Amino acid sequence: MAENFAELFYELALANRICANEGVLDAFGHVSVRHPKDPNRYFLSRSRAPELVEPGDIYEYDLDSQPVRTYALPPYSERVIHGEIYKARSDVMSVCHHHGAAFMPLVTTGIDYIPVFHLGATGGSKPPFWDQKDEFGDTNLLVVKPEEGASLAKRLGQHSMVLMRRHGVTVVGSSIRDCVFRCVYSCRNAEYQVMAMQTGTIDPLSPGEVREAGGISAKTTGQGRAWEYWSVRLDKAGGTPPQLRAARRAAKPANKPAKKAKRGRK
């Protein structure tokens, strides 16, 4: 499995680390991807800080969020967020759950997310709120039961993002890169929105502008351009996953020039 999906596992590890480097994730939160050959399975790291995730940390789950084999190290407790969304949304190929600091003023007050600049349209217009307390009473706010994950997925509906009261945000995408793009730029938008609220009256994007601007990244080179930029920033910070770093070292020419082979006699 690891050999067949080496590139996918590397990209998933890179996504976790990019989100950490860009301030979306910290010690907590996670990014997953649906199995490209079996829609009834998905991949997610073992329980580890996103900034440290490596390709070898990736576990495989069914849509009930049960591991398909026995693994040595513990999984994330909130993996049902991913499994239940994949179960409810066949179009979703990647999921990220985060507690981005930019969103905390919104999820703690119940203020709607409002796109205030073009890239902020990737979060959609007025994504829904989900309050765990409404159905499950007082909890520790972790989404660990299948019925809790299913409730969250239902509230997400056909939106690309759902805000979780007093907790965080869950974002979906058509690919790993699409999901990361939405995460980073919705966080930027939330930051700008709160700043704008403190400065004056917000002039938000119109519904038509949200619709048009929301599709830019998928229709242009924007998504790939952003991914390359974030990857370089991560590498400069020394955070590139180890497999690629080892490959780069191996590809570097030796310090000493190779000796020329002696010509054989004809």
Q: Enumerate the active-site residues.
A: 78
For 26, other C-beta atoms within 10 Å of its C-beta total: 15
| Distances in whole angstroms, Cα of residue 130 to Cα of each of 42, 147, 149, 167, 190 | 24, 14, 11, 10, 17
Contact 121, 115 (CB under 8 A): yes
